[in-house]
Amino acid sequence: MKVFIEKDYDALSDKAFEVMKEVLDENDHPVLGLATGSSPEGLYARMVEDYKEGNHSYKDVVTFNLDEYVGIDRNDPQSYYTFMNNHLFKHIDIDPANTHVPYGSTDEAAKEYDDQIKNVSIQLLGIGRNGHIGFSEPGTPFDERTHIVDLTDSTIEANKRFFDNDVNKVPKQAISQGIATIMDADKILLIASGADKADAVKAMIEGEPTIECPASALQNHKDVVVVLDEAAASKLTR
């Protein structure tokens, strides 16, 4: 696990783009595992800028997103499908048929999505305050694949800011790649910003691998890059 500590969110996003750029440069047909939330917004902005400058085309890129809320319309402003279109897809030359965001509420839908995910060149991750990756919450077995998950109270609380600060409006379930699915990727890039992520970051990097901190499973992956700002790294001891 390689850990980079950057001064602030802008510097973090620059470093994350360096890592993503290497993958785009090294692969003729890269498969990108993508994430939503505030953490990757800076990275996506740099990818869009880089595309507009003519440095990379996305015509031969395939993407698979980590997760999506259950019971939310794809065109809802808070759906992750909408997020990806607004922040990345509609600004680059990617074929919409090559973009995949999970959708559904059944085990069958989860397995169907999982079966599509092959040869991921790089998987982008954020980390939740409770250590979740994707929506694989604490207690998720490390061998779990794409599944339907009941969101924890802490995750619902963290996400209420996107739903008028009303926990009752936050979906209570999600369809999410599991830890085993994430671990299949050739390379993993995790980015975290802010002091509220510091405890989870410390548990991920310095704690023992445990299902109580799903992100700690990444210690067992052969190629993980973690990019933090100083606030997110503030509780690390080394």
Q: In the annotation, is 68 catalytic?
A: no
Continuous H helices in 27-160: 41-52, 80-87, 107-116, 153-159
Query: Which one, of 34, 41, 52, lies nearest residue 10 by Cα?
Result: 41
The residue from 65, 68, 87, 132 that is catalytic is 132
**Euclidean distance between CA atoms 127 and 197, whole angstroms:** 7
For residue 34, the one-letter residue type is L
User: How far are the Cα atoms of 42, 75, 88, 203 from residue 47, in angstroms, in the given order?
Assistant: 9, 23, 8, 30
Decide if 132 is catalytic.
yes
Cα 177 to Cα 230: distance, rounded to the nearest angstrom: 29
Rounded distance, CA 192 to CA 208, Å?
A: 19
29 is catalytic: no
Out of 68, 87, 114, 130, pick the active-site residue.
Answer: 130
Q: What is the DSSP letter of 60?
A: T
Alpha-carbon gap, residue 30 to 165, rounded angstroms: 38
Catalytic residue among 6, 68, 114, 137: 137
Judge whether 220 counts as a catalytic residue.
Answer: no
From 6, 65, 67, 114, the catalytic residue: 67
Instruction: Tell me the catalytic residues.
Output: 67, 130, 132, 137
